Amino acid sequence: MNMKAARLCSIVFIALALVLSVGSARATLTLSDGNSVASIDPTSSSGMYNWTVDGISQLYQQWFWYGVGAGGDYSLNTLSAPSIVQVGSNQATITYKDTTTDPTAGLQVAVTYLLSGGALHSGESDMSEIINIENNSGHALDLHFFQYSDFDLDGTPNNQNVAISLDSTGKLGIAATQTSALGSLSETADSPYASRWEANTYASTLNNLESTPGYRLNDAVTASGDATWAFEWDKTISAGGSLLISKDKHLAVYVPEPATILGLGAILLVVGRKLRTRLGA
């Protein structure tokens, strides 16, 4: 590596350090495999806040909310302190169990992540999630369960496009696809399909989940810009019953040549500004 290339690399690494320092106080669970690393904060609504593929993070936030009946919606981490079991470097299960608070007493949610990274420089990565929701109470629970996703493909919030695919009746959400100039993400809700969905721009859906009592997704199917998307599953779970949600995300991103690394430094600085804005710094 010549002196000019070495200097460019140092600029990128400094920018990356500035970005990462914004979230350094988080409690982090790390998954790694192949060319990929994912970071999850199970104690806050930040949730999974990093999915790095071949050195570039493609994700700002992906997490879960829940509501019971017509009441408010709450970030999953408010249900209880997390119990974490990690199997190897690329798989972990995070479990939350409410044993104290009505009307959610007896609600238990376990989220299992499995990260399958691709070969180095392939730009490919996969994350499967299985969510097991149990009603351990003595009465039925009218559950509303949400997944909110904010991917920043190419390491930038700009120029993102999201489309939600529906079943043949137009009544169930099957998949979400997000594209950018250099990458794509697809998530399939294998079982069951979502009851409602919402494509939007940051931070409209997030604000509604956090502050609008009994919010239900608006079924919008496309969004562009700093695009986000969400799925909602509505189900009455009988006493002793359960709901199993199976999903899979696949990332395919462009891996730049070393000569383009200066542009990555600029992207990282943009992401840093976005992080600081979102976190109120």
Residue 266 lies in a domain: no
pLDDT at 77: 98
Half-sphere exposure of 220 (CA within 13 A, CB side): 16
CATH number at residue 182: 2.70.98.40
237: its two tokens: 């779970």
pLDDT at 279: 52
Cα separation, 156 vs 220, in Å, equals 23
pLDDT at 104: 77
Measure CA 214 to chain center: 21
What are phi and psi for residue 236, nearest 5 degrees? -90, 115
pLDDT at 122: 97
Termini Cα distance of the chain: 37
Residue 267 lies in a domain: no
Residue 23 lies in a domain: no
Stated length of the chain: 281
pLDDT at 144: 97
Residue 186 lies in a domain: yes
CA separation (Å) from 264 to 24, 86, 136? 21, 32, 49
pLDDT at 229: 98
- What is the three-class DSSP state of 164? strand
3 within 8 A of 10, measured Cβ to Cβ:
no
Rg of the chain, C-alpha, whole Å: 19
pLDDT at 267: 53
Residue 67 lies in a domain: yes
Residue 3 lies in a domain: no
Residue 79 lies in a domain: yes
108 within 8 A of 134, measured Cβ to Cβ:
yes
pLDDT at 156: 96
> How many structural domains does the chain have?
1
- Residue appearing with tokens 């798989």: 91
Q: Which residues pair with 124 in a beta bridge?
A: 252
Structural domain range at position 180:
29-258
Cα separation, 218 vs 172, in Å, equals 13
Residue 270 lies in a domain: no
DSSP 260: G
Q: What is the pLDDT along the chain (281 residues), one digit of tens a residue?
A: 443 334 334 333 433 443 343 344 468 999 999 999 999 999 999 999 999 999 999 999 999 999 999 889 999 999 999 999 999 999 999 999 998 767 778 999 999 999 999 999 999 999 999 999 999 998 999 999 999 999 999 999 999 999 999 999 999 999 999 999 999 999 999 899 999 999 999 999 999 999 999 999 999 999 999 999 999 999 999 999 999 999 999 999 998 776 554 555 555 555 554 554 555 54
